[in-house]
């Protein structure tokens, strides 16, 4: 049998190297990486600043464990705190691990404040928080839970964009509300700003913690450093991963002071979390994101891309039902009977890599460093893909 467990349906292409927004396959084709390794490769492939930061660190020290002081970790955490709502950061290695941490921290906060019973979280239908047992329970997606026993306890799942639905399930055991500002895997479904503000108000009213899952939306993806900034809300806890270190595995849980104070030595941990290599990649990524003008340029480029996509939607309303998302987190809602993956396959034939999401959505999550010429490439590939889809070549 295949020595790699067959948990993925893989596209039969492999890559030899990457150059900025492009990937070069082993059979010599050049693709625009419009999926960015699923919202991970924020600075593109082989970015000179990231590569040299990582090589320099690799030649000095990789890992010592959190038994010891890690100055690179403290320095990076200080920078993150400075750039966000948070007062402290816990480092881990993935999105699911960050969300597990976020849920645990919310529970611990209530426990140390005399309310051990308040372990329950309110979560939203259509969300995705990772593939661990707790995060599967939180999202309650039947497809992901099938065969894995009873869903983890402690989550009350409600439909999104209804504050009434949230209000109805709040009980004396509720401790937190969990939300992705834009539901990613669910189909790039942005939640209304008023709804997000309403969740903040409900949390305040009932002394709940607001946990935002910015694993996909965070670190510049939507044109602001964090997507919750668009709605002008302040979370209590935020989970990050994906784009945080541009492809080096890294996750982080950010929290306000009152929440972070609940976490004392021995309460949580991660062997690899925040090691020197991850911190070098994350630190270099954040430096670029915080460079003067980086995010405003990203917003400009994304406007060009949105305009181009809109022209495709206008030309092909029979294929593109709607475009949704923010910044460079974009979903093309494909109109049935056309199928997202089919459109994606045709786009790939024209050199553009994409990724599907729920609700028949084709996702674009290109590196944040794309420029006008990449926008043109994406639009041209998609135009040709639409033509192919119509003639079913």
Ligand X SMILES: *Cc1c(COP(=O)(O)O)cnc(C)c1O
Chain residues binding ligand X by CB under 6 A are 94-96, 99, 128-130, 180, 184-185, 213, 215-216, 241-242
The minimum distance between CB 19 and ligand X, in angstroms, equals 25
User: Which of 174, 196, 41 is CA-nearest to residue 103?
Assistant: 174
**Taking the complex as a whole, how short is the minimal distance between the CB of residue 116 and ligand X, in angstroms?**
27
CA distance 274 to 90: 8
HEC states along the chain?
CCCCCCCCCCCCCCEEEEEECEEEECCCCEEEECCHHHHCCCCCECCHHHHHHHHHHHHHCCCCCCCCCCHHHHHHHHHHHHHCCCCEEEEECCHHHHHHHHHHHHHHHHHHCCCCCCCEEEEECCCCCCCCHHHHHHHCCHHHHCCCCCCCCCEEEECCCCHHHHHHHCCCCEEEEEECCEECCCCCEECCHHHHHHHHHHHHHCCCEEEEECCCCCCCCCCCCCHHHCCCCCCCEEEECHHHHECECCEEEEECHHHHCCCCCCCCCCCCCCCHHHHHHHHHHHHHHHCCCHHHHHHHHHHHHHHHHHHHHHHCCCCEEEEEEECCEEEEEECCCCCHHHHHHHHHHCCEECEEECCCEEEECCCCCCCHHHHHHHHHHHHHHHHHHHHCC
Q: How far is the CB of 98 from ligand X (least distance, A)?
A: 7
Q: Specify the residue for token string 């979560």.
A: 123
Q: How far is the CB of 128 from ligand X (least distance, A)?
A: 5
User: What is the closest distance, in whole angstroms, from the C-beta atom of residue 365 to ligand X in the complex?
Assistant: 10
Q: Which residue is nearest to ligand X (CB)?
A: 95
Work out how close the CB of 258 gets to ligand X at its nearest, in angstroms, rounded to a whole number: 24
Q: Which is nearer to ligand X, 213 or 374 (CB)?
A: 213
| 165, 317, 321 from 336: Cα distances, Å | 30, 11, 9
Rounded-to-integer distance, Cα 382 and Cα 57, Å: 40
Least spacing, CB of residue 215 vs ligand X, in Å: 4
- When the beta carbons of 319 and 329 are compared against ligand X, the nearer one is 329
Q: How far is the CB of 363 from ligand X (least distance, A)?
A: 11
CB of 229 to ligand X, least distance (A): 16
Give the residue from 167, 145, 142 showing the smallest Cα distance to 156: 167
User: Which residue number, 23 or 99, has a Cβ lying nearer to ligand X?
Assistant: 99
Nearer to ligand X, 33 or 180 (CB): 180
Name which of 57 and 216 has its Cβ closer to ligand X: 216
- Of the pair 236, 350, the CB lying nearest ligand X is at 236
Task: Give the relative orientation of helices 276-290 and 71-83 as an angle to the nearest 10 degrees.
Answer: 30
* Phi and psi based region of residue 46 (left: phi greater than 0; alpha: psi -120 to 50; beta: remaining): left
Closest separation in Å from C-beta 311 to ligand X: 28
């Amino acid at each position: 049998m295949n020595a790699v467990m067959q948990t993925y349906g893989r596209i039969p292409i492999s890559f030899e190297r990457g150059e900025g927004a492009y990937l070069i396959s082993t059979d010599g084709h050049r693709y625009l990486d419009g999926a960015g390794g699923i919202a991970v490769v924020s600075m593109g492939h082989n970015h000179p600043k990231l590569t040299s930061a990582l090589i320099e660190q690799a030649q000095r020290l990789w890992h010592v464990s959190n038994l010891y002081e890690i100055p690179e970790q403290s320095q990076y955490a200080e920078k993150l705190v400075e750039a966000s709502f948070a007062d402290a950061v816990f480092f881990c290695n993935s999105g699911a691990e960050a969300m597990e941490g976020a849920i645990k921290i919310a529970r611990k906060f209530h426990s140390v404040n005399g309310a051990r019973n308040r372990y329950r979280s309110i979560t939203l239908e259509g969300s995705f928080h990772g593939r661990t047992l707790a995060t599967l329970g939180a999202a309650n997606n039947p497809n992901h839970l099938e065969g894995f026993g009873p869903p983890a306890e402690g989550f009350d799942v409600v439909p999104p964009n209804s504050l009434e639905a949230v209000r109805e399930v709040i009980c004396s055991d509720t401790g937190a509300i969990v939300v992705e500002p834009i539901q990613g895997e669910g189909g790039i479904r942005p939640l209304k700003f008023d709804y997000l503000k309403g969740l903040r108000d409900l949390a305040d009213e009932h002394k709940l913690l607001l946990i935002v899952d910015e694993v996909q939306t965070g670190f510049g993806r939507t044109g602001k450093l964090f997507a919750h900034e668009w709605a002008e809300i302040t979370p209590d806890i935020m989970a990050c991963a994906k784009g945080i270190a541009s492809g080096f595995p890294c996750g982080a849980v950010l929290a306000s002071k009152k929440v972070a104070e609940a976490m004392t030595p021995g309460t949580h941990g991660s062997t690899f979390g925040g090691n020197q290599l991850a911190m070098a990649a994350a630190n270099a990524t954040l430096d670029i994101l915080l460079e003067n003008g980086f995010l405003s340029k990203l917003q400009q480029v994304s406007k060009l891309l949105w305009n181009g996509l809109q022209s495709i939607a206008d030309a092909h309303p029979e294929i593109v039902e709607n475009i949704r998302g923010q910044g460079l987190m974009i979903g093309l809602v494909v109109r049935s009977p056309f199928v997202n993956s089919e459109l994606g396959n045709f786009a790939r034939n024209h050199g553009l890599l994409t990724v599907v999401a729920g609700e028949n959505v084709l996702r674009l999550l290109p590196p944040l460093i794309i420029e006008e010429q990449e926008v043109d490439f994406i639009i041209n590939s998609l135009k040709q893909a639409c033509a192919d889809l119509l003639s079913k070549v």
